[in-house]
Amino acid sequence: MRNRHNKLGRILNGTEDLLAATDYVGPMALATAHFGRTGHESSRIIFGAAALGGMSQDRADATIAQVSAAGVNHFDTASSYGESELRLAPWLAEHRSEVFLATKARSRDGSEARAELELSLERMGVDHVDLIQLHNLVEPDEWETAHGANGAVAAMAQARDEGLVSHIGVTGHGTRIPSMHVRSLAEFDFDSVLVPYNSTMMAGAQYRADVEELLAICADKQVAVQTIKSIARGRWPQGYDGSRFSWYEPLEDPDAIARATRWVLADPQLFLNTTSDARKLGTILEAAASDLPAPTAAELQADIDAFGITPLFDGRELERI
């Protein structure tokens, strides 16, 4: 799978000194789909720009060039992703029209969320984003604040009216988030949702039922569905002191990553947001562009057994990040 990769540093500037941490993936036949009712035809692989948060600008430039060259036309970042928005700015100065640009606001208070949005626009050097998302809206008290008269939802709707954002979405982590999204969609006409989605989490009967209810509502309302944690192996082992490029431990085996990727993309309703571990981008992109079928249940179970894959969230001790 990896033998047709070339070092992106060589492509960009004739050297291999860009930390050699991403492999170049040339133009690929990535599938696209309507991103809900937004009118945008998004690549079904969405670049999770959290990967840029701790990078140097050179390394970030290489990573952005990698995903752009592969055909990814939808970038997702957040004000809380370290330096991610700043790292995107130089590329956006020349290529803003080429991507659907999404960011997130963590604040629940309306004025604070508005300030967060304005700072994001300033950091990225743009005058609007295509999608602003309320970040991890799962706790009931925060939900009430966000949906209140002076909350973040009303503030983002006002920003949309002013042309600062085009669409509004909501994201979240944990086993409770599908049902909270159902509640959110009943309260406000969000354009997109984002949920954890992989075969291990979907093996839980209640989580699967909640996700299926959410997917049915989203299909009826033409709400885009983004997924995260597709290649999660589990939480980092207690006492692990090695390098970490994501808050959870990702799969390392390229074939297992490819199967996890294809499993998500087998559902045409779903978009897959890539991991913050940029070392996995090449494998994910190639899997997404392949014409291989979705993995069988037996293959997925074999990966669970071989690599010790466990759910990131369990509704109890492992419910929050």
The domain that contains 67 carries what CATH number? Answer: 3.20.20.100
In a domain, 318, yes or no: no
- Is the model's pLDDT at 67 over the cut of 90? yes
User: How large is the greatest C-alpha to C-alpha distance in the chain, in angstroms?
Assistant: 56
In a domain, 111, yes or no: yes
Q: What is the mean pLDDT of residues 151-162?
A: 98
- Is the model's pLDDT at 8 over the cut of 50? no
In a domain, 170, yes or no: yes
pLDDT number for residue 27: 56
- Number of structural domains the chain divides into: 1
| Range with lowest mean pLDDT among 147-151, 156-160, 237-241 | 237-241
Q: What is the mean pLDDT of residues 195-216?
A: 97
In a domain, 137, yes or no: yes
In a domain, 2, yes or no: no
In a domain, 101, yes or no: yes
- Summarize pLDDT for 242-266 with one digit per residue, the tens: 888 998 999 999 999 999 999 999 9
Strand partners, 192: 169, 224
- Summarize pLDDT for 285-302 with one digit per residue, the tens: 999 998 888 999 999 999
Q: How many CB atoms lie within 10 A of CB 164?
A: 19
In a domain, 261, yes or no: yes
Q: What is the mean pLDDT of residues 147-164?
A: 98
Share of the chain above pLDDT 90, in %: 84
The two structure tokens encoding residue 89: 């700015």
Tell me the pTM.
Answer: 0.90
In a domain, 17, yes or no: no
- Summarize pLDDT for 95-124 with one digit per residue, the tens: 999 999 999 999 999 999 999 999 999 999
Q: Show the domain range for 289.
A: 26-307
Which residue in 101, 180, 192 sits closest to 147, CA to CA? 180
Please count the CA atoms within 13 angstroms of the CA of 184 that sit on its side-chain side: 33
Share of the chain above pLDDT 70, in %: 89
The helices-and-strands tally (H runs, E runs) of the chain is 12, 14
Single-letter code of the amino acid located at 97: S
pLDDT grade, residue 10 (50/70/90)?
Answer: very low
